[in-house]
Amino acid sequence: MFRSPRGTADILPADQPYWRYVESTAAELCERFGYGRIETPIFEDAKLFNRSVGEATDIVEKETYTFKDRGNDELTLRPEGTAATCRAYLEHGMHVLPQPVRLYSVNLPMFRYDRPQAGRYRQFHQVNLEAIGSPEAAVDGEVIEVAWRLFAKLGLKNLTVVMNSIGDASDRPAYIAALKKFYEPLQSQLCGDCKRRFETNPLRLLDCKKETCRPHTENAPHTLDFLSATSRAHWDELTSSLKALEIPFTSDHRLVRGLDYYTHTVFEVVPQEDGAQSTIGGGGRYDGLIEQLGGKATPAVGFATGMERIILNLKRQGVTVPGQRPIKAVVLHLGSGAKPHAVSLASSLRESGVTAVLAPGGKSLKAQMRYAESVGAAYALILGDDEVRQGVVAVKKMADGTQQQVAIGEAARALL
Ligand code: HAM
């Protein structure tokens, strides 16, 4: 027996209402904020992610699905949406459009070779949004507002926005020097990953969740203390606009995020309850990325959230979502002559907008009625040879067992 590959899941009919709910709520909200929908390919040139997400990040070091195709091109299954959206911005010359260009995606499959657990998969799906071409703190605020309103509109409660500013390339060297000075004497106490990070990507030392390293992060220097006046002004403007929007947030000096392209604002949305530690969404500003990918310097900011994590939290919090269309009518048929009439009755019911299925053939009336009950139909429509001869159908209301005869042509109307 085959099973779905480790870390992947089938999305079965019972779960589809959650997916549809998240997808339509996100699409409607993003469009209300002026974002246009974009879909990029599932795989891209491997170098795109190495250069953007960063060679020394967990994602590129350990988690990408990279392969050579038959033409010997090295490709990577997309682990995130920002790099591909920026690649599309450049490829399609979107810099000539009014800036910022606001783009969103929903239901986009992403692939990371992660250790699977609740809320962490190897194939997962993101809602992703990017506002490319504006340096304004108001646009960072807008992106955080979309994230916040999305979770609120979906009915999720008890979430917090956690934020930090990691400054830009000119703020970074002094901070990294201070951080290395702080960690220098602690090196022997660090986990293997952090020993490596000390050399390759010191900012990520702050991100380590291991017990050996966590206490040190508490006392590490704060990026906010190393911001230039301009970077500080950006942070101050953003935090005051969030206050004006009444979006609650806390700042955490350890938040640096796991992707290399961030500058200035970084933020995550996290559930408050104990045990539900998984970040539900995250994002930030990435003013250097477009230039790094070969475009001219273009500031940008964005956010992504995992649809599986949203659905997990919707279920945890008992949020009800609009259900799947229930089966309204089952058409029962008795006798070989009635069957083709039952087939065309079911078909005409559907044409009139009624969700209808045919009862399985070759079964007794009782067995067909049990079938109608088991699928939760509101009505059983019974056609035997007599009914066909008279041009009528018996309509049984399953809730109270009452039955009436109606003309076949009137059946759909009798059910509405
Ligand atoms: P990220 O924090 O790597 O950011 O991922 C965003 C969200 O995707 C996470 O908060 C989580 O909900 C979901 N996610 C990530 N990995 C997994 C996984 N293995 N299984 C299930 N869900 C997962 C980014 O991807 C950035 N591109 C966000 C961004 C957009 N920054 C700027 N613009």
What is the model's pLDDT at position 123? 98
Helices 16-32 & 137-154 angle (0-180, nearest 10): 150
Rounded mean pLDDT of 263-278?
83
> To test the ligand 1 pocket, which listed residue (126, 278, 313) has its Cβ within 8 A of the most ligand atoms?
126
Q: How far apart are CA 84 and CA 40, in angstroms?
A: 7
Could you identify the atom of ligand 1 that is nearest to the CA of residue 83?
A: 27
201-251 pLDDT, tens digit per residue, is 899 899 888 888 989 999 999 999 999 999 999 999 999 999 999 999 999
Q: List the domains of the chain with CATH numbers.
A: 13-171+227-316 (3.30.930.10), 329-415 (3.40.50.800)
Question: Residue 44: phi, psi to the nearest 5?
Answer: -140, 170
> To test the ligand 1 pocket, which listed residue (19, 44, 61, 80) has its Cβ within 8 A of the most ligand atoms?
80
pLDDT band, very low/low/confident/very high, at 55 (cuts 50, 70, 90): confident
* Tokens, residue 292: 């790094």
Q: How far apart are CA 348 and CA 242, in angstroms?
A: 54
Nearest CA to ligand 1 atom 30: 303
Nearest CA to ligand 1 atom 23: 306
Question: Residue 168: phi, psi to the nearest 5?
Answer: -120, -170
Q: Which residues line ligand 1 (CB under 6 A)?
A: 80-82, 112, 114, 119-121, 124, 126, 128, 130, 258-259, 279-284, 286, 302-306, 308-309
What is the model's pLDDT at position 209? 83
Q: How far apart are CA 306 and CA 274, in angstroms?
A: 20
Could you identify the atom of ligand 1 that is nearest to the CA of residue 114?
A: 19
What is the model's pLDDT at position 388? 95
In the predicted model, is pLDDT for residue 276 greater than 60?
no
C-alpha 242 to ligand 1 mean position (Å): 22
3-state SS, residue 201 = coil
Nearest CA to ligand 1 atom 18: 120
CA-to-CA dists, residue 252 to 99, 198, 220, 226, 256, angstroms: 31, 21, 12, 15, 9
Could you identify the atom of ligand 1 that is nearest to the CA of residue 59?
A: 3
386-401 pLDDT, tens digit per residue, is 999 999 999 999 999 9
Percent of the chain scoring above 90 in pLDDT? 88
What is the model's pLDDT at position 336? 79
In the predicted model, is pLDDT for residue 274 greater than 80?
no
C-alpha 259 to ligand 1 mean position (Å): 10
3-state SS, residue 250 = strand
Q: How far apart are CA 382 and CA 39, in angstroms?
A: 47
156-180 pLDDT, tens digit per residue, is 999 999 999 999 999 999 999 999 9
Nearest CA to ligand 1 atom 14: 306
In the predicted model, is pLDDT for residue 93 greater than 60?
yes
Distance from the Cα of residue 375 to its chain's centroid: 31
Could you identify the atom of ligand 1 that is nearest to the CA of residue 258?
A: 3
C-alpha 341 to ligand 1 mean position (Å): 53
CA angle 229, 232, 235 (to 5 degrees): 155
Question: If we measure between CA atoms, which residue out of 106, 12, 20 comes closest to residue 323?
Answer: 20
C-alpha 267 to ligand 1 mean position (Å): 12
- Do 107 and 23 form a contact (C-beta atoms < 8 A)? yes
Q: Where do we find the tokens 């339509």? A: 24
Could you identify the atom of ligand 1 that is nearest to the CA of residue 259?
A: 3
Question: If we measure between CA atoms, which residue out of 221, 242, 231, 240 comes closest to residue 143?
Answer: 242
> To test the ligand 1 pocket, which listed residue (8, 38, 124) has its Cβ within 8 A of the most ligand atoms?
124
In the predicted model, is pLDDT for residue 277 greater than 60?
no
> To test the ligand 1 pocket, which listed residue (30, 38, 58, 110) has its Cβ within 8 A of the most ligand atoms?
110
What is the model's pLDDT at position 203? 92
Nearest CA to ligand 1 atom 2: 282
Could you identify the atom of ligand 1 that is nearest to the CA of residue 257?
A: 2
Q: How far apart are CA 84 and CA 39, in angstroms?
A: 9
What is the model's pLDDT at position 275? 54
355-375 pLDDT, tens digit per residue, is 999 999 888 999 999 999 999
C-alpha 80 to ligand 1 mean position (Å): 7
Rounded mean pLDDT of 74-102?
97
Q: Where do we find the tokens 């071409």? A: 133
In the predicted model, is pLDDT for residue 198 greater than 70?
yes
CA-to-CA dists, residue 170 to 165, 166, 167, 264, 288, angstroms: 13, 11, 8, 11, 12
Cα within 13 Å of Cα(79), Cβ side: 27
Mean pLDDT computed over every residue of the chain: 94
In the predicted model, is pLDDT for residue 83 greater than 90?
yes
Distance from the Cα of residue 177 to its chain's centroid: 37
